[in-house]
Amino acid sequence: MSASVTNLQVPTRYVVPTHWTASAIRIVVLGAGGNGSEVVDCLSMLHCAIRSLGHPHGLAVTIIDDAVVRESNLVRQRFWPCDMGGFKSIVLANRYNLNLGLQWIGLPHRFPCEETTFALADADLIISCVDVNSARMAVADYKGKLKPTAMWLDMGNGHRHGQVVFGGLGKATRSRYPNVLDLYPEIAGMADNTTKSCSAAESIAAQDCLINRTVATAAMNILWELIRKGSTERNWITVSLESGEQMTQPFPCQNSES
């Protein structure tokens, strides 16, 4: 009698590469504004946490953003009046380097460009905190060199809601771990919104005061799970300040024969 074959739906779980536990985890943060500055602050905390738990190197972070700190960035972003006029990426890198004795890097350039290629080539995880869709397309269609295991954590938000998507970049990983463009294909046809707020009050009117911190916390919970447990099933998270709800969706199940 021949054995029957049954297709089973097996939960998909992303497992971090082994070098995450032995080498510095190399992270590139694209964008140092509302979401990006919150992410960098969270990364400093995660670095200290995993070092205290015995990780030999912690996090090696590169921040990429060519924008300078303006008055409208105060209050809702992690900048202070003394930072005004400085490049956001350099201000943040210097802050945590001085406070924690790190060697994080701030690159005051617009991605993608030649000056950012070495950082992307070395990245284990790219965290995009951008407010223009052309930058997301540039990440997805990046023509430079990337690690085969490089992953992508994208963050976006509106006035009182936001989403986080953790997925793959290479063809092999993207088929199992959909990224933000797989889940939101309409991004490819959306024009960039380049409107800038002129004051802190206008900035808060456009995006609520705590939305960036809320979205960043959701994103960093995925990263913490990856670092602490070595794997995650979480593909995307949506948050709403309006309703107070947070919803998590796992990676699509994979077929398995038994």
Span 17-50, pLDDT tens digits: 999 999 999 999 999 999 999 999 999 999 999 9
The count of structural domains within the chain is 1
pLDDT value for 132: 87
Query: Quick check: is 92 in a domain?
Result: yes
112 preceded by cis ω (within 30°)? yes
Mapped onto helix, strand or coil, the DSSP state of residue 89 is helix
Could you tell me whether strands 231-232 and 161-168 are parallel, antiparallel, or unpaired per DSSP bridges? unpaired
Residue appearing with tokens 């350039």: 109
Query: Quick check: is 4 in a domain?
Result: no
pLDDT value for 199: 46
pLDDT value for 55: 97
Query: How far apart are alpha carbons 42 and 82 in whole angstroms?
Result: 21
- Residue range(s) defining the domain that contains residue 249: 12-257
Query: Quick check: is 2 in a domain?
Result: no
pLDDT value for 198: 47
Instruction: Collect all residues with Cβ–Cβ distance below 8 Å to 159 and sequence separation of at least 6.
Output: 206, 207, 208, 211
Contact yes or no for 84/70 (Cβ under 8 A): yes
pTM of the full structure: 0.91
Q: For residue 28, with 0-12 CB atoms within 10 Å meaning exposed, 13-18 middle and 19 or more buried, which class applies?
A: buried
| pLDDT per residue as tens digits for the range 102-115 | 999 999 999 999 99
Query: Quick check: is 75 in a domain?
Result: yes
Below-70 pLDDT ranges, the chain? 1-8, 192-206, 256-258
CATH assignment of the domain containing 69: 3.40.50.720
| Half-sphere exposure in the Cβ direction for 110 (13 Å, CA) | 6
Query: Quick check: is 65 in a domain?
Result: yes
